[in-house]
Amino acid sequence: MNNIALITGATSGIGKACAEKFAANRYNIILTGRRSERLQSLKKELEKKYQVKTKSLCFDIQKKDQVINAIESLDNSWRQINILINNAGLALDLKPIQEGDFSDWDTMIDTNLKGLLYISKLVSNIMITQGSGHIINIGSIAGRESYPNGNVYCATKHAVEGLTKAMRLDLFRQGIRVSQIAPGAVETEFSLVRFKGDADTAEKVYRGYTPLTSEDVAESVYFVASQPTHININDLLIMPMAQANATTFNKEPK
């Protein structure tokens, strides 16, 4: 099978929009995430709408054994992964370091950093065997700047930035491109997750200005992925026009 993209965190937001964008461009898609009903319905939707093949792998990226089992479960036709989009991730809460919750810290580090590492090791070995591939890491403006109370989330995204550079050094001679796309504010389920289901607080994050959409980011991911093979877009920072840096917004008066 040609043109296979594996997308982590495809059940929502940026990952889901990437699945749609790549399927629309004739990619066969491996969809991953923990919410199996969403994976199943997206699988059906993409197959019907775009006549591509899809495979869903339901696992928690924090759990090394689950990641290994999921990748090992792929048969030869699905193992030939061309593009890995390392998107699964989350922030939990906004609190000063001295009030931080150990369990929230573990979840963010285990998902955004260790999960990305687990799957990257496994898939990069497949890509090395093929002699080609492209790994696209979803970083964040939070990986460029730290903002008040963002401590551990910002640290994980700084780590994604560092790892992107390091992975490129390790893999470029083997024909594997490594890129980072770092968005500013994107309206997804991100803030609902960060504020643990508090929809009013989550909704306020995107009020008074036009944030990026998941589709905006997916366009950039596809642009990076569709360059000729002698080009690697190392890094792309994409912001809403109304957001000048991590904390400075041009919001309409209330």
Q: Which residue bears the tokens 């990748």?
A: 71
- Where helices occur in the chain by DSSP H, the ranges are 13-24, 36-50, 64-72, 76-79, 102-108, 116-130, 151-171, 190-194, 199-204, 214-225
Site track 130-169 with ligand NDP (rule: CB under 6 A), x = hit: --------x-x-----------------------------
Q: Contact 31/10 with Cβ under 8 angstroms? A: yes
Should residue 61 be labelled a site residue for ligand NDP when binding is judged by CB under 6 A?
A: yes
Q: Is 206 part of the annotated catalytic residue set?
A: no
- From the list ligand NDP, ligand 8X3, none, partner contacted by residue 13 (C-beta under 5 to 8 A by kind): ligand NDP
- Indicate the length of the chain as a whole number: 254
- From the list ligand NDP, ligand 8X3, none, partner contacted by residue 28 (C-beta under 5 to 8 A by kind): none
What is the nearest approach in angstroms of ligand NDP to the Cβ of residue 97? 19
Should residue 87 be labelled a site residue for ligand NDP when binding is judged by CB under 6 A?
A: yes
- From the list ligand NDP, ligand 8X3, none, partner contacted by residue 57 (C-beta under 5 to 8 A by kind): none
Binding part of the chain for ligand NDP, among 49-57, 69-77, 83-91, 220-228 by CB under 6 A, reads 83-91
CA distance 164 to 105: 21
**Using only C-alpha atoms, what is the Rg of the chain?**
18
CA distances (Å), 157 to each of 15, 27, 123, 132, 154, in order? 17, 28, 21, 26, 5
CA distance 252 to 250: 7
Exactly one of 5, 11, 84, 167 binds ligand NDP (CB under 6 A); which one? 11
- From the list ligand NDP, ligand 8X3, none, partner contacted by residue 240 (C-beta under 5 to 8 A by kind): none
Q: For residue 234, which phi and psi values (nearest 5 degrees)?
A: -65, -40
Active-site option among 118, 153, 206, 222: 153
**Which stretches of the chain bind ligand 8X3, using CB under 6 A?**
140-142, 150, 185, 190, 246
- From the list ligand 8X3, ligand NDP, none, partner contacted by residue 246 (C-beta under 5 to 8 A by kind): ligand 8X3
Tokens read off for 88: 């699964």
CA distance 57 to 66: 10
- The binding site for ligand NDP (CB under 6 A) comprises 9-15, 33-35, 60-62, 87-90, 111, 138, 140, 183, 185-186, 188-190, 193
Which residues are part of the catalytic machinery?
Answer: 153
